[in-house]
Amino acid sequence: MKNYKTTLNQRVNMSLRHLLFAAFLVFNFQGFSQSPTATVKQTIDSLVSHSPQGYTDIHSVLRKHRNDTIVMRYVAKTALENNYIDGQLYALNELGRKYRNTNQYKKAIILHEQALEIATETDNLEFRVSSLNNLGVVYRRTSSIRAAMDYNQKALELAEAVENPSISLKRSINISHNCIGNLYQELRQYDKAIVQFEKSLLLEAELNNLLGQAINYQNVGECKEELNNLDEALKDYQTSLELNNTINNDTGRVICYNSIAQIYVKKNQPTKALTYLNIALEKAKKLDDDFLIAPVYINFGWAKLLLKDYANAEKNMLTGLRLSEASNLPYSTTQASRLLSKLYKEQRDFEKALQYNVKAETLEEEILNVNTIRYVNDIIYRYDSQKQSTKIEVLAKENENVTLALRKNRTILLIAGLALALLAGIFYILYRQYQLKNEKKVLTLEQNMLRSQMNPHFLFNSLNSIKLYIINNEQKNAVHYLNKFSKLVRKILEASSLREIPLSEELETAELYMNIENIRFSNEINFQINIEDGIDPHIVKIPSLILQPFLENALWHGLSSKNGEKKIQVDICTSHEPGFIDIIITDNGIGRAASERIKLGKVLKRNSVGIDITKDRLLNFSRDFQNSFNLEIIDLFKGDGGANGTKILLHIPTI
């Protein structure tokens, strides 16, 4: 959008009409007896001195004075004298809007056309669009639908052609959609009207414009009312009323109260309707706008008609008709004529009933005719076609730019490809390092595992036990346990080089270990292995040497300090979860709490790392499976609450 202060050459080239109008303004203001207060003059002079550009900045200063014709005339005069085009355009449009709202449509049209001419000559798009929309509103109020559609559609076309519109232009786009919706509404094409109002409503919500939202909710309600969706229409009117109350807009309140009353009239609830009409009439008279007053009187008459109060019904309808005709409001005139026809028909005055019915039909035909509808649809079709053509041109240009960019970027793409290949190589090296790191970790775990299985305490104690048999000349026992010891050492060494072994091998190793350790316990330990039917230990694979650390813990922390029966039981069973087996190691020792107290009392404490190493190995083992292992240590108790041993539950994946 461009804004320009008119230069001397531009002034010279202005149209004769513009110069005559400037002279007209100067002449009228010189002879005008009233003027703004000193404070307001100071505000206006400051505004003209700073000369802000655009509707939004000017409106932020003059908003509360926009309905004061004295102030707006002073702004127009001062802006003209100081060559401040934006200020002059703002004042002309606001004066036109005020005249429009007081039904002085000819004056309003002159002012808006003057603003449009100046905005066009100075290439001021923002005020050009605003002036077009204002002209559309004036012509719509006088039911000049063709002219109104021309102006509003042109405003929409100009505003939407801007790539990054200002807030003011966005609001103008919303107004254009709303005005076009109103035109469809007058042509009784309510579905098309609702589409336009909803477009405007969405855009107004984005701008957080409560007034715009209130107007569009009101319009949507009117369309739904005409489509006989009375309950939905009432909701929209009530929403509009809430928004108007929020922004303290009396004009909006009058329209909403009147519309809500009309719904209750149509629902045959005239008493309730009169409550709203009394409020609406009081506020409308204060605003002194026949455009608002006339429909209220007409609905008053309608409500009285339903109550069979024919005298007051006739009085109010005739008042509404007179105001509508005086202010050139064809739609209200038509409604009043139809209701009067209905009134006289009920009073059996058929001559007057026919007279007003003919009048209503004639007015409606003038407003709504086939040529007008076709004309409006042609404008919309032409606009949509132009919009599509513009889109095609834009897409073609974008395609050309993309093609050019691709040609220019071939070298960049080649470099990018090489860079990606380099990155891929780097990632591969990093991945290999990660793999080697994992392999090293596995190797370390295996070494630690072997070290824990073949720890010096176990070797020394086992050999001492065998030596004791030899000293006592128990050759048979010495040979027996020496065979078992050598077999255990061989199995441990063999298993340490394997990642996984059959379950049967692991159980055999565990049994050898327990037989050797049982020597020190004078064979007091009852060790059992139970395998559930259906489990083949030769097929099931588990990590090598994982049971010994748990058996060792059960022996030295659970049973070594226990008196009486000592028992360790290993149960192999299928899990309730598919793809797993459960290995349960149960002892009837003193329990973890008692074991910990004994350990704290010892001077030399032995740290067991076997279980931690086993956990790491199980975690590494389960990475190749869909699921991970689970280890659970459960304390067992007797009926009286005393410790009754410990249960180890290993939940190991097999697939």
- pLDDT band at residue 305 under the 50/70/90 scheme: very high
More confident residue, 168 or 317: 317
C-alpha–C-alpha distance, residues 357 and 149, integer Å: 29
More confident residue, 254 or 457: 254
271 close to 255: Cβ distance less than 8 angstroms: no
Q: Looking at the predicted structure, is the pLDDT value of residue 534 above 50?
A: yes
591 close to 615: Cβ distance less than 8 angstroms: no
646 close to 569: Cβ distance less than 8 angstroms: no
- pLDDT band at residue 370 under the 50/70/90 scheme: very low
Residues 444-468, mean pLDDT to the nearest whole number:
59
pLDDT tens digits, one per residue of 579-610: 788 999 999 888 888 877 777 766 444 545 56
Q: Looking at the predicted structure, is the pLDDT value of residue 25 above 60?
A: no
More confident residue, 565 or 402: 565
- pLDDT band at residue 1 under the 50/70/90 scheme: very low
**How does the average pLDDT of the chain come out, rounded?**
80
Q: Looking at the predicted structure, is the pLDDT value of residue 13 above 70?
A: no
Report pLDDT for 383.
53
Burial string for 493-526 (b: 16+ CB within 10 Å, else e) reads: eebbeeebbbbebbbbbbbbbbbbbbbbeeeebe
Question: 231-235, 314-318, 427-431 — which is least confidently predicted?
Answer: 427-431
Report pLDDT for 17.
43
CA atoms within a 13 Å half-sphere pointing along the CA-CB vector of 479: 4
Task: Tell me the Ramachandran region of residue 507: left when phi exceeds 0, alpha when psi lies from -120 to 50, beta otherwise.
Answer: alpha
Q: Percentage of the chain surpassing pLDDT 70?
A: 80
DSSP 8-class letter at 123: T
Cα dihedral sign for 464, 465, 471, 476? Answer: negative
Largest CA distance in the chain: 146
Residues 339-367, mean pLDDT to the nearest whole number:
87
Pick from 599, 509, 502: which is nearest to 553 by CA? 599
Report pLDDT for 443.
54
pLDDT tens digits, one per residue of 616-637: 666 666 565 555 677 888 888 8
Q: Looking at the predicted structure, is the pLDDT value of residue 23 above 50?
A: no
Specify which of 3-17, 471-485, 640-654 reaches the highest per-range mean pLDDT.
640-654
Q: Amino acid identity of 151? A: Y
More confident residue, 268 or 19: 268
Residues 233-262, mean pLDDT to the nearest whole number:
93
Q: Looking at the predicted structure, is the pLDDT value of residue 32 above 90?
A: no
Q: Looking at the predicted structure, is the pLDDT value of residue 249 above 80?
A: yes
Place of tokens 């255990």: 488
- pLDDT band at residue 381 under the 50/70/90 scheme: very low
pLDDT tens digits, one per residue of 192-203: 889 988 888 888
DSSP H or E run through 253: helix 250-266
Beta bridge partners of 542: 501
C-alpha–C-alpha distance, residues 102 and 288, integer Å: 7
Residues 91-102, mean pLDDT to the nearest whole number:
89
Q: Looking at the predicted structure, is the pLDDT value of residue 371 above 50?
A: no
Q: Mapped to the 3 state alphabet, what secondary structure does 218-248 carry?
A: HHHHHHHHHCCCHHHHHHHHHHHHHHHHHCC
Q: Amino acid identity of 235? A: K
- pLDDT band at residue 484 under the 50/70/90 scheme: confident
Residues 553-573, mean pLDDT to the nearest whole number:
85
Count CB neighbours of 593 within 10 A.
9
Q: Amino acid identity of 566? A: K
pLDDT tens digits, one per residue of 485-519: 888 878 777 776 677 788 888 898 888 888 888 87
- pLDDT band at residue 377 under the 50/70/90 scheme: low
Q: In terms of DSSP bridges, do strands 525-531 and 566-574 run parallel, antiparallel, or are they unpaired?
A: parallel
Residues 267-275, mean pLDDT to the nearest whole number:
92
pLDDT tens digits, one per residue of 212-229: 899 889 999 989 988 999
Burial string for 393-404 (b: 16+ CB within 10 Å, else e) reads: eeeeeeeeeeee
DSSP H or E run through 644: strand 643-653
Question: 29-43, 100-114, 335-349 — which is least confidently predicted?
Answer: 29-43
Report pLDDT for 448.
53
Report pLDDT for 364.
78
Q: Looking at the predicted structure, is the pLDDT value of residue 266 above 80?
A: yes
Q: Percentage of the chain surpassing pLDDT 90?
A: 22
Q: Mapped to the 3 state alphabet, what secondary structure does 572-628 carry?
A: EEECCCCCEEEEEEEECCCCHHHHHHHHHHCCCCCCCCHHHHHHHHHHHHHCCCCCC
What backbone torsions phi and psi does residue 416 show, to the nearest 5 degrees? -65, -40
Pick from 557, 578, 567, 563: which is nearest to 633 by CA? 557
What backbone torsions phi and psi does residue 536 show, to the nearest 5 degrees? -95, 105
C-alpha–C-alpha distance, residues 514 and 508, integer Å: 10
